[in-house]
Amino acid sequence: MDIEKVVKALNSRTRRKILKILSEGPKNVKEISIVLREEYSANIKYRESVFKALEKLVEADLVEKFYEKDKGITYRLKREKITIDLTKEVVE
């Protein structure tokens, strides 16, 4: 994992909330948007914003996307825990 991408991905309250939502199980963009608005009172007006946040998490290798019948493109956590070795700048 690229430490720079991981740090940048985690440097957003919305992306951290999305990780928390995905810890409950796989969801598509629409489902994540609804939870953000209802449970977190997030001011997310467009699904595109959620999609962009998810893509940053995918790029950082924290989330993966897959196709699920009847739901379309769906996202899930790729890993629940990461370890960052600051002396080697490595993420495991």
pLDDT digits (tens, 9 = 90+) for 59-77: 999 999 999 998 899 999 9
**CB-based contacts of 48: which residues, under 8 Å, 6+ apart?**
none
At residue 75, the pLDDT reads 97
Of 3.40.50.10810, 1.10.10.10, 1.10.150.310, 1.10.357.10, the CATH number of 3-91 is 1.10.10.10
Q: Bigger pLDDT: 48 or 26?
A: 26
DSSP 6-50: HHHHHS-HHHHHHHHHHTT--EEHHHHHHHHHHHS------HHHH
At residue 85, the pLDDT reads 80
Domain positions in the chain are 3-91
pTM of structure: 0.87
